[in-house]
Chains A and B, each alone.
Chain A
Amino acid sequence: MKFLVCISNVPDTTTKITFTPDNKEFNKAGVQFVINPWDEYALTRAIELKEAQGSGTVTVLNVGEADTEPNIRKALAIGADDAIRVNAAPKDAWFVAQQIAHYAKEGGYEVILMGKESIDYNGFQVHGMVGELLGIPTVAPAMKLDMSGNTATLEREIEGGKEIVEVAAPFVASCQQPMCEPRIPNMRGIMTARTKPLKVVEAVGEGAATAVAEYQLPPKKQGVKLIDAANAGELIKLLRNEAKVI
């Protein structure tokens, strides 16, 4: 089976978020970028399924400029077979979805996986757009994915529960825990990753459908009001009479 795993390059989860002086862009200075944590579930699960099937390939795809290559190589070190980098900044979900749909179709991929959302833009959009562009089912967000022949059984999280869904390939799924335990690269993987194929291709399709006018940080808290532990019940009175939330 041919798996396509889409990965984003995002600031590490411990990053303190700041913006450029005009507040139009994220300030990348001094920031460590990682593979989007949700995408790691998609990547590891694709590798596990390929291993279980005993044949097939896992290709990673990233829409990004040359500075994302270290993380693409990391995905190859974790166990992907080859990679495609669409050489363009990921302007918005629509732009990215068009790239994925185009190259997925061109390569004849049967299972298209990605993380639930990216931890920077938090769009939760790309999977549905890709599914719609290709006219195939989308299962999002998926907590579990098993394959038997051409048929996938997935657990889709809905508010307050889950649905068990069966779809035939080709399909798109956006992945989250507890799908698998994401793998980390081992030394052999790191060595072989250097020589695995990484193809750079140009962007296709239309531009973006949205644009960020300005970023803002959340308003700062006024400061904490401390209540003596011995008199903890006082807190409940404050929550009712002062904060008016209970």
Chain B
Amino acid sequence: MSVLVVVECDKGEVKKSSLEVASYGAQVAQMLGTTATAVAVGEATEANLAALGEQGITKVLFDAEPRLKDFVNGAYTKLIAAAADKEQAKVIVLANSNIGASVGSRLAVRLKASLATNVVELPKTDGGQFTVKRGAFSGKAFADVTLSGDRKIIAVKKNSIEAQHNGGQTAQVESFTAQLSDADFADAPKQVIMQDQAGGILLPEADKVVSGGRGMKGPENWHLIEDLAKALGAATACSKPVSDVDWRPHHEHVGQTGITVSPNLYIACGISGAIQHLAGVNSSKVIVVINKDPEAPFFKAADYGIVGDVFEVLPKLTQAVKELG
């Protein structure tokens, strides 16, 4: 019996959300009195996989098959299922990413496992029950969910668990392969197109987010958002009305029908705070609201607020960040 952690890699690096997943898996392994093994997918380097020892992983399985560099649901599912069987894994932990959760749902059927996605805390194992807390109602609530299957799969929401650094430990990297056939690559991509990200920070992975609403008055003013984001090392985002009128691309739309973020810092500029938008951001640790309307509902959900004109306030904030050094 062991815990299997699925680690997503990109351009050789282990994704930040996967470092969190590795820490989560290692802690679950400790609770269950066993060890945590990782299976890596994507483009990885041996050195970066060995460094998962820092997060408490003892062994990493990796298949260097070139067709596995890009996400293929069928092949990833088969590879991870084979790793789970090899390690006799009772608990499988993945990131609640498009990749992780897509694979997780197929794996649940293949391994006859109970699956919980969008999980925000370590499991509780009192009284023989295995219970996890997950986000529900698009960020408006949480649910404690009991997983009844003999095997459990947990998809951990980004930024819910801090990645630990134990210092100096390295994991043993083993080459591993499953019997992959062409049929497993039925959904292999013909082409992969990555977005141009301002400053290279992806919104779903970001620690800090600067977001703009209709109060920004037009796409030509977005440099004010981008300047502050760049100074902070933050990703940029927007509200639904902004993406609806194409001021910004839809993948920046945060809210109930966009993406849900949970950064350490969310700065909302000229966003009134409709309930659908709040649903997408209210698990952020610190929320700052800048709005000229003191009655904007967003102030009720905020930790810090500035009642003022975004066009005056934003440059001051950018300047103040630069002065911090």
A119 in contact with B257 (CB, 8 Å): yes
* B residues 173-214 in Cβ contact with A at 8 Å: 186-195, 197, 202, 204-205, 208
Interface centre among A94, A159, A168, A227 (most CB of B within 10 A): A159
Query: With A137-B187, A138-B102, A239-B288 in contact, is A227–B304 under 8 Å at CB?
Result: yes
Q: How far is the CA of A26 from the CA of B306 in the complex (A)?
A: 35
Stretch of B23-31, B49-57, B143-151, B163-171 lying at the A interface: B143-151
Query: With A122-B135, A128-B106 in contact, is A235–B288 under 8 Å at CB?
Result: yes
Q: Does B230 belong to the interface (CB within 8 Å)?
A: no
Query: With A17-B140, A128-B103, A210-B145 in contact, is A246–B305 under 8 Å at CB?
Result: no
Q: How far is the CA of A160 from the CA of B202 in the complex (A)?
A: 6
Q: By DSSP majority rule, is chain A's interface helix, strand, loop, or mixed?
A: mixed
Query: With A119-B257, A214-B143 in contact, is A161–B193 under 8 Å at CB?
Result: yes
B186 in contact with A137 (CB, 8 Å): yes
Query: With A221-B300, A224-B299 in contact, is A164–B115 under 8 Å at CB?
Result: no
B102 in contact with A236 (CB, 8 Å): no
B264 in contact with A245 (CB, 8 Å): yes
**A-contact 0/1 string along B272-301, CB 8 Å cutoff:** 000110010011011111000000000111
Q: Does B136 belong to the interface (CB within 8 Å)?
A: yes
- Which range holds the interface residue count of chain B? 35 or more
Residues of B within 8 A of A127 (CB): 102, 105
Q: How far is the CA of A139 from the CA of B103 in the complex (A)?
A: 11
Stretch of B58-66, B82-90, B315-323 lying at the A interface: B315-323
7 tightest CB-CB pairs across the interface, nearest first? A128-B105, A229-B308, A233-B320, A163-B189, A161-B194, A132-B109, A236-B320
B73 in contact with A222 (CB, 8 Å): no
**B-contact 0/1 string along A154-171, CB 8 Å cutoff:** 001111111111111000
Residue in chain B with minimal CB distance to A143: B250
Q: Does B122 belong to the interface (CB within 8 Å)?
A: no
Q: Does A14 belong to the interface (CB within 8 Å)?
A: yes
Chain A residues bordering chain B, tally (CB within 8 A): 76
CB distance from A44 to the nearest CB of B (A): 14
Residues of B within 8 A of A65 (CB): none
B202 in contact with A159 (CB, 8 Å): yes
Residues of A within 8 A of B77 (CB): 132
Q: B residues within 8 Å of A by Cβ?
A: 10, 15, 70-71, 73-74, 77, 96-99, 101-106, 108-110, 113-118, 129, 131, 133, 135-149, 186-195, 197, 202, 204-205, 208, 232, 250-251, 256-257, 260, 264-265, 275-276, 279, 282-283, 285-289, 299-309, 312-313, 316-317, 319-321, 323-324
A14 in contact with B313 (CB, 8 Å): no
Q: A residues within 8 Å of B by Cβ?
A: 11, 13-14, 16-17, 19, 26, 37-38, 93-94, 97, 119-129, 131-133, 137-141, 156-168, 177-178, 208-218, 221-222, 224-229, 232-233, 235-240, 243, 245-246
Residues of A within 8 A of B205 (CB): 159-160
6 pairs, A vs B, C-beta closer than 8 Å: A94-B115, A119-B138, A120-B138, A121-B136, A129-B105, A164-B190
Interface centre among A164, A208, A210, A235 (most CB of B within 10 A): A210
CB distance from B95 to the nearest CB of A (A): 9
CB distance from B28 to the nearest CB of A (A): 17
Query: With A214-B144, A226-B307 in contact, is A17–B98 under 8 Å at CB?
Result: no
B136 in contact with A215 (CB, 8 Å): yes
CB distance from A180 to the nearest CB of B (A): 13
CB distance from A203 to the nearest CB of B (A): 18
